[in-house]
Chain A
Amino acid sequence: EAGVVQSPRYKIIEKKQPVAFWCNPISGHNTLYWYLQNLGQGPELLIRYENEEAVDDSQLPKDRFSAERLKGVDSTLKIQPAELGDSAVYLCASSLSGLGWQGSTGELFFGEGSRLTVL
């Protein structure tokens, strides 16, 4: 079974440029998460989708960040314009909904991440 796929793995851009990340979750996983991970820190939630609906985007800096999950499968995360402080790893994760839902263990499956460097 294929895992969570993210692209690109690495991206280097200059500040004020736009950037987009793509995520393909595990087939059948209706919950999708975007996390930000700074060096030496734990993942921080940016947005959570249940199918195509963004159910928690309270931590998403909406002035420059946007996300979408059309058709409730793939998702994209965009930053425009990027700032120096946005340099981090952007992790996508997927899971089956809720604890015990359809036999779900609640486990989050993470992709390899997209490492962004803003110069």
Chain B
Amino acid sequence: GQQVMQIPQYQHVQEGEDFTTYCNSSTTLSNIQWYKQRPGGHPVFLIQLVKSGEVKKQKRLTFQFGEAKKNSSLHITATQTTDVGTYFCAGSDNYGQNFVFGPGTRLSVLP
């Protein structure tokens, strides 16, 4: 079955440093979503990517979908303490009928 992996598992950065998490799928995806889960909270939708090679930006966050639609990345520029949490990618290979979540990357930001 479809598998989604993420690296790194954990990332500790100093406030102001950049952060990147990578997501890889065992199958070609139709679309991929990114979620953020704060400690003790529930996953909250950040963005969805659909097109091959697509790049989307949300303020300090940059999301990219690979050309082969099997990988994706999330880059945060100049991290802030409010960025703390776990970032999950969720891939679908059937146009959103089922999403398989990755294990997440847990980000800690030291002030």
Return the contact of B48 from the options A41, A55, A107, A113 (Cβ within 8 A): A107
Query: Would you give the shortest CB distance from B79 to chain A, in whole angstroms?
Result: 21
Interface stretch (choices B13-21, B60-68, B69-77, B94-102): B94-102
Return the contact of B42 from the options A42, A98, A112 (Cβ within 8 A): A112
A contacts with B: majority SS: loop
| A98 lies within 8 A of B97 (CB) | yes
Question: How many A residues touch the partner, as a band?
Answer: 20 to 34
Collect the chain B residues with CB atoms within 8 Å of residue A112's CB.
41-42
Q: Is B110 an interface residue (CB 8 A)?
A: no
Work out how many contacts link A and B, with CB atoms closer than 8 A.
60
Collect the chain A residues with CB atoms within 8 Å of residue B98's CB.
45, 48, 56
- A36 to B51: give the CA distance in the assembly, Å: 29
Interface of B toward A, CB cutoff 8 Å:
4, 30-31, 33, 35, 41-45, 48, 50, 88, 90, 92, 95-104, 106
- 14 pairs, A vs B, C-beta closer than 8 Å: A42-B102, A42-B104, A48-B98, A56-B97, A56-B98, A99-B95, A106-B31, A106-B33, A108-B33, A108-B43, A108-B45, A108-B99, A109-B45, A113-B42
Interface of A toward B, CB cutoff 8 Å:
35, 40-45, 48, 55-56, 91, 95, 98-99, 104-113
